[in-house]
């Protein structure tokens, strides 16, 4: 072998691919020694004889056809196939060949390469698997996936749209890759200016694009769409958005229904407010009538009964004097009922003004005012926590409860009354007013806080049955609650809480 031949062989064997040569008929005249070793063949002739037998059965027919057609027509060939190594393992290769022509244009031989493309094939297989996976995800997604591209001249295309996209809008994906006009023609003309401006702003700032607009979908009608996508700048100056588009028609309709409901609600609230204002005015008128028109005949009844007793008492029979006294007492009781009813009705209209109240000082004032002259009652004050409440109304609560405690315990030899506060398991402050008086059966406790409900006869204990109803109304307006524990002849304890914050809405 001459020096030039040795140099040429060294160059060929240093190349990253295997080199081969053949005569005009395709019979090998040279096969890279590295490929012979790879195939475990001892000569070029042996390599060709067993060549197609070494090609993977799935690739063999195509490889043979491409080879025969290239040799017959004198054309270049290029074919990818799997080739069995000497150890039986198949590897992906790409075989290339180019014909050599003489001066007359006839094929005088072939030269070519065999390249190991196993890594490229593996990458291609992985890419194809990933594409299949993404295609399945796109098909299963409730949203429509898309890529939208706009070049520097403003031409718009959709390099990718998911099947759900083309199905809803009945568009051809291949056509959209060339021109997106068919999709934009579906848009509502009234929404186009805002849509165009939002796209331009996203392209200028490369910020997230989010927009809602209407389109006329075939076989469906007008629907609302919402798109989210992130733009990227391409090397040629184009901008491509990758994202999702969703049919939000149901949401938009629901929002419209909610807005309509809110408007109707506002109208109903306004109407109800007007009705309440009218009712309050009527109540004010009624209160005025009660205060003036009803009091006048009561005063007359009481006055005439008193005059009858004073002027003719000594000459009246005992039954007549008793009847006259009952008439007078009834008139006085009716007057007290009117006063209590008016006080109860005013609680609803009186504004609630909260501020910090020194409860101990307030209770001490109530006891000082309410303690009967010469009463042997023992009054005990425990811890009384300050609170946020309307001072006047809170004073009314303690006045009613403490006065009841004095009243229902006065028949005891040693009346005992206690007022204190404590915290319950939830940490709320609970105020308590207890007495050792007559008490009552707890099965009647539910009636106590209603107007005119009494558990004792008027001949035993005076009262109108409004005091505890007033307590309940005041406590409820403060966001709290009131309850009682009692037993016959063992006294009673009234508890109540006062929640902080604003007055709850009236029920």
367 closest CA partner among 383, 378, 351, 354? 378
Strands ordered across the beta sheet of 18-22: 28-31, 18-22, 107-116, 90-101, 77-84
Q: Where are the beta strands (DSSP E) in 45-143?
A: 77-84, 90-101, 107-116
110 vs 499, more confident: 110
Residue 218's pLDDT is 92
Average pLDDT, the chain: 83
- Give the end-to-end CA distance of the chain in Å, rounded to a whole number: 114
Q: Give the ranges where 15-56 is alpha helix by DSSP (H).
A: 33-39, 44-49, 51-54
pLDDT class for 273, splitting at 50, 70, 90? confident
Contact present, 461 and 408 (Cβ < 8 Å):
yes
What is the chain's length? 507
474 has pLDDT over 90: no
Write out 356-369 in H/E/C secondary structure. EECHHHHHHHHHHH
Which pLDDT band, with edges at 50, 70 and 90, does 504 fall under? very low
The pLDDT value recorded for residue 125 is 83
Residue 87 has pLDDT above 90, yes or no: no
Nearest to 470 by CA among 485, 451, 492: 451
pLDDT of residue 501: 41
Do 407 and 454 form a contact (C-beta atoms < 8 A)? no
Closest CA to 408 of 333, 342, 484, 341: 484
At residue 286 the predicted structure's pLDDT band, cuts being 50, 70 and 90, is low
Q: Which residues contact 472 (CB under 8 A, 6 or more apart)?
A: 449, 482
pLDDT band at residue 442 under the 50/70/90 scheme? confident
Residue 26: pLDDT over 90: no
Q: For the purposes of burial, counting CB atoms within 10 Å of the CB of 80, is it exposed (0-12), middle (13-18) or buried (19 or more)?
A: middle
- Residue 505: pLDDT band by 50, 70, 90 thresholds? very low
pLDDT at residue 90, as a whole number: 92
Q: How far apart are CA 4 and CA 215, in angstroms?
A: 75
**pLDDT value of position 291:** 61
pLDDT at 451 > cutoff 80: no
- State the average pLDDT over residues 281-285: 66
Q: DSSP secondary-structure letter at 189?
A: G
- pTM of the predicted model, to two decimals? 0.43
Which residues lie across from 287 on neighbouring strands? none
Name the CA radius of gyration of the chain, rounded: 51
Across the range 400-427, mean pLDDT stands at: 89
Would you state the structure tokens that stand for residue 302, as one six-digit string?
């009481």
Residues forming a β-bridge with 31: 20
Q: Which two tokens stand for residue 340?
A: 């209590």
pLDDT band at 500 (very low <50, low <70, confident <90, very high): low
Q: Average pLDDT, stretch 50-73?
A: 89
Whole-number Å distance between alpha carbons of 46 and 58: 22
pLDDT above 80 for 34: yes
- CA 303 → CA 307, 309, 323, 334, distances in Å? 6, 10, 14, 14
d(CA 112, CA 26): 11
How much is the pLDDT for 459?
A: 46
Beta strands in 5-76 (DSSP E): 18-22, 28-31
What pLDDT shows up at residue 413?
85
**To 10 degrees, what angle do helices 249-289 and 318-349 make?**
150
Phi, psi of 75 (to 5 degrees): -110, 160
Contact partners, residue 365, CB within 8 Å, separation at least 6:
395
Q: Which pLDDT score is estimated for 358? A: 95
Whether 456 shows a pLDDT value over 60: the answer reads: no
CB neighbours (10 Å) of residue 291? 13
Indicate if the pLDDT at residue 11 is higher than 90.
no
Please determine, for residue 297, whether its predicted confidence score (pLDDT) is greater than 70: yes
277: β partners: none
Q: Which helix (H) or strand (E) holds 147?
A: strand 144-150
* The pLDDT of residue 14 is above 70: no
Any idea which of 22-31, 39-48, 167-176, 417-426 has the lowest mean pLDDT? 39-48
pLDDT tens digits, one per residue of 372-399: 877 888 999 999 999 999 888 898 889 8
Beta bridge mates, 247: 225
Task: For residue 169, count other CB atoms closer than 10 A to its CB.
Answer: 20
Give the contacts of 62 (CB within 8 A, at least 6 positions apart).
Answer: 79, 81
Residue 506, pLDDT score: 40
């Amino acid at each position: 072998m001459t020096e030039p031949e040795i140099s040429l062989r060294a160059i060929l064997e240093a190349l990253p691919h295997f080199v081969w040569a053949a005569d005009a008929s395709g019979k090998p005249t040279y096969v890279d020694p590295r490929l012979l070793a790879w195939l475990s063949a001892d000569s070029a002739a042996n390599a060709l004889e067993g060549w197609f037998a070494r090609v993977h059965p799935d690739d063999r027919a195509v490889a043979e056809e491409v080879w025969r057609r290239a040799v017959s027509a004198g054309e270049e060939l290029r074919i990818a196939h799997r080739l069995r190594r000497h150890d039986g393992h198949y590897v992906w290769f790409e075989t290339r060949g180019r014909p050599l022509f003489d001066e007359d244009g006839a094929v005088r031989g072939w030269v070519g390469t065999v390249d190991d493309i196993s890594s490229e094939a593996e990458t291609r297989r992985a890419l194809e698997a990933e594409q299949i996976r993404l295609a399945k995800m796109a098909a299963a997604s409730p949203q429509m996936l898309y890529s939208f591209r706009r070049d520097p001249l403003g031409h718009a295309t959709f390099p990718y749209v998911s099947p759900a996209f083309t199905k809803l809008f009945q568009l051809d994906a291949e056509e959209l890759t060339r021109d997106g006009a068919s999709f934009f023609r579906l848009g509502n003309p009234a929404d186009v200016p805002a849509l165009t401006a939002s796209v331009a702003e996203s392209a200028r700032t490369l910020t997230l694009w989010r927009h809602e607009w209407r389109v006329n979908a075939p076989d469906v009608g007008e629907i609302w769409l919402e798109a989210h996508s992130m733009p990227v700048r391409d090397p040629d100056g184009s901008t491509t958005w990758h994202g999702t588009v969703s049919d939000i028609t149901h949401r938009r309709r629901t929002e419209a229904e909610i807005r309509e409901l809110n408007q109707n609600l506002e109208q109903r609230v306004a109407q109800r407010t007007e009705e309440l204002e009218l009712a309050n005015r009527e109540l004010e008128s009624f209160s005025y009538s009660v205060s003036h028109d009803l009091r006048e005949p009561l005063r007359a009844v009481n006055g005439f009964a008193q005059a009858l007793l004073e002027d003719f008492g000594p000459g009246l029979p005992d039954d007549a004097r008793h009847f006259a006294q009952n008439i007078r007492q009834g008139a006085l009781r009716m007057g007290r009922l009117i006063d209590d009813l008016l006080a109860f009705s005013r609680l609803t209209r009186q504004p609630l003004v909260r501020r910090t109240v020194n409860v101990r000082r307030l209770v001490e004032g109530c006891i000082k005012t309410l303690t009967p002259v010469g009463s042997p009652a023992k009054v005990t004050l425990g811890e009384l926590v300050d609170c946020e409440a309307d001072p006047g109304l809170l004073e009314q609560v303690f006045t009613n409860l403490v006065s009841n405690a004095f009243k229902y315990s006065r028949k005891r030899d040693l009346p005992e009354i206690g007022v204190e506060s404590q915290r319950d398991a939830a940490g709320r402050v609970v105020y308590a007013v207890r007495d050792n008086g007559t008490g009552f059966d707890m099965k009647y406790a539910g009636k106590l806080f209603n107007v005119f409900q009494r558990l004792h006869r008027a001949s035993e204990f005076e009262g109108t049955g409004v005091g505890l109803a007033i307590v309940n109304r005041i406590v409820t307006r403060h966001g709290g609650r009131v309850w009682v524990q009692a037993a016959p002849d063992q006294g009673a304890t009234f508890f109540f809480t006062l929640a902080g914050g604003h007055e709850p809405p009236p029920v």
